Structure 1
Amino acid sequence: MIRKKFSLLPVLCASLLLLSSCAGRQPDSAEKAKNVHVLSFAERQTVADKLDPALIRAQNRLGLRLHEKLAESAKDNILLSPYSIFTAISLAYQGSGGQTAEEMARVLGIEKIGKEQANASVRTLYTLLGDAGSGVRLNSANSVWYRKGMEMKEPFIQTAENSYHADVQAVDFENGRTVQEINGWVNEHTGGKIPAILEQAPDRNTVAILLNTVYFNGAWQNPFDPKDTTEGDFTLSDQTTKQVPMMKRTGMFEFKQTPEAQAIRLPYGDGRLNMLIVLPAGGHSLADVMKGIRKDPSTWQARFEHASGEIRLPRFKAESSLELSDALVAMGMKQAFDPAAADFTAMSDAKPLFVSSVLHKMVLDVNEQGTEAAAVTEMAMAGSAPPAGRFEMNVDRPFFFCIEDGQTGLWLFMGTIGNPA
């Protein structure tokens, strides 16, 4: 008897959106009512204190490890949402067992945490991210789409709905309307910035698709004046230059300078979320700086001293579409992709059931009004010193960025920009 190979597409869209074209528009009361209770800063801190810091570190390190693997293909711009990717894979992990679960837990970095504690942290993060403060919209959503007639186990469905707040529904993947429904769900939950994740009906062996989306729209706490934006040179890694619009602002900033790099933190809204930019110093490449960040990300996860200065930053839009399967296999998540060995019996008894694809889409828009990205907090480095006098930081060459939740240390978005043109 020939057994059908049932493929599972977890993270068919770990899709994240960084958008600021309408930055500053805050969700109205109806939107907030649909999400969660609006928390004060003190209430959010109380909730944040309940989070296991190991889970936050795991998510950030997953992003850095994936970035390292993806950088081997030498893309100009590498854009990731560690939170989105972690959440989607973690949802699939809830349905895994045996060695498959062990490998997934190691790649996620939660082998010492366990499923129940991971679920509790996911629920806590959902509460925190549901209200990101004034001047910021931040929405995350999950969904599970599975083939009609397939028996999905009730404990998995309950976990998906209760811990991940996922929409779970049985569909006919061979019906063209299903593709429209899935793309419509993605379009709705990314504010229209990622209108589709599926170009055609899934492979006929696909039995489930797990999706996570993250939408962020943040207004700068202190916007850039468009009148100060001028054309300037941006030097690419091959030492050629391109003309890009360079925004400029002066003032007081969290700033740090080391022999290897300059770093600045630009806050959004009420300051809970920030963008951190790390710019390699002359004589140091972005690859050198990334080695240091991967070796010890905590270096960039403490507050900087404040200094007066000027920042020049490109105004740009970037997007990426990545297939993460090879990178995840290289990181040790092998059995999940093996039709003969994958164990997702906690999700369904369908056999074989395995991961066939992991896709990640991201759109990033940085302009005078706002952005979305990630911010990092940083610790004092050996050999560093507070900047003397007024600083100048001209982001005119490849750089690292991230958008961080200051209360938890979570990197919602991160990446490197090698060509903003």
Structure 2
Amino acid sequence: MPDCFSDTFESEFHLGKRRSVKVPMMHIEDLTTPYFRDEDLLCSVVELKYTGNASALFILPDEGKMQQVEASLQPETLRKWEDSLRPRMIDDLYMPKFSISTDYSLEKILPQLGIREVFSKEADLSRITGAKDLRVSQVVHKAVLDVAETGTEAAAATGVKVIPDSGKLYPMTVNFNRPFLVIVSDTNNLIFMAKVTNPKEN
């Protein structure tokens, strides 16, 4: 994630027709980062890379096109976006500060993956407490995505800051001031997917 967001200010985030909330909006100028405009699905895709192999795709549907984009979220769509991303200078990128947190209960999922004994009476967890009548009753996974000026909790930031070219003919602005999608992946493994409908409530 870029570590050079600056000029955070209060701005409108449009929840829908005639409804908006004030949110802290981050701003970065002259960022060169992978970008793709999907004219079929009518959305803009911006990739912000983490240090290492992880990256986040921020998908901004055109107004009224969120359902269309969500309905098209298939592996082939993600591959198309990843194959089509090209470095592009974004003159002004606006992104709300937000944090998403969710818990997943895994005790029904893990047995399907072959992890059963630890939940049964046959479990031997005596090395933990010394007691033999110990078994796992619940496994909870918590996922957190925190986007702020310094990047995210997950990793340090990488980004390219360039000097504006005075001969620019088509300045480009991408403003995440309405509902958008976030997909975090690491070497083609999906880590996190979320829909940001209200940065104050996620």
TM-score normalised by the shorter chain: which range applies? Answer: 0.5 to 0.7
Q: Which runs of 5+ in 2 are unaligned?
A: 124-134, 156-168
Aligned pairs for 1:239-318 within 5 A: 240-251=19-30, 252-259=32-39, 260-269=42-51, 272-285=53-66, 287-294=67-74, 296=76, 297-302=78-83, 304-309=85-90, 310-318=92-100
In the alignment, what sits opposite 1:86?
A: none
Is there any run of 5+ residues in structure 1 with no aligned partner, and where? 1-219, 337-341, 375-387
**Per-residue deviation, residues 96-126 of structure 1 (Å, max 9, x unmatched):** xxxxxxxxxxxxxxxxxxxxxxxxxxxxxxx
Give the alignment of 1:308-387 within 5 angstroms. Answer: 308-309=89-90, 310-323=92-105, 344=116, 350=122, 357=138, 359-371=140-152
Deviations 1:201-246 (A, max 9, x none): xxxxxxxxxxxxxxxxxxx455212xx1111111225752110011
Matched-pair contact (CA < 8 Å) for 2:36–2:84: no
Counterpart of 1:290, as a letter, is: E
Which residue number in structure 1 is paired with residue 131 of structure 2? none
Contact 2:119 2:137 in 1 (8 A): no
After superposition, residues 141-290 of structure 1 pair within 5 angstroms as 220-225=1-6, 228-237=7-16, 240-251=19-30, 252-259=32-39, 260-269=42-51, 272-285=53-66, 287-290=67-70
Looking at structure 2, the residues matched to 362 and 222 of structure 1 have their Cα atoms a distance apart, in angstroms, of: 22
Are 2:184 and 1:403 aligned? Answer: yes
CA distance in 2, matches of 1:355, 1:276: 36
**Deviation of the 1:344 alpha carbon:** 3.5
- Quick one: distance in 2 between partners of 1:234 and 1:221? 21
CA displacement at 1:357 relative to structure 2: 4.9
1:413 corresponds to which of 192, 195, 198: 192
Deviation per residue, 1:278-320 (Å, 9 max, x gap): 11112302x3212212362322333611222221000122322
Letter matched to residue 188 of structure 2: G
Quick one: distance in 2 between partners of 1:301 and 1:323? 31
Is the CA contact (8 Å cut-off) linking 1:311 and 1:393 kept in structure 2? Answer: yes
Whichever residue aligns with residue 38 of structure 2, its letter is T
Deviation at 1:256, TM superposition (A): 0.9
Q: 1:389 to 1:238 in 2, by over 3 A?
A: closer
User: Does the 8 A contact of 2:8 with 2:24 survive in 1?
Assistant: yes
| TM norm structure 1 | 0.35
Partner of 2:128: none
> TM-score under structure 2 normalisation?
0.67
Q: Aligned partners of 1:358 and 1:237: how far apart in 2?
A: 37
CA deviation digits over 1:16-56, x for unaligned, max 9? xxxxxxxxxxxxxxxxxxxxxxxxxxxxxxxxxxxxxxxxx
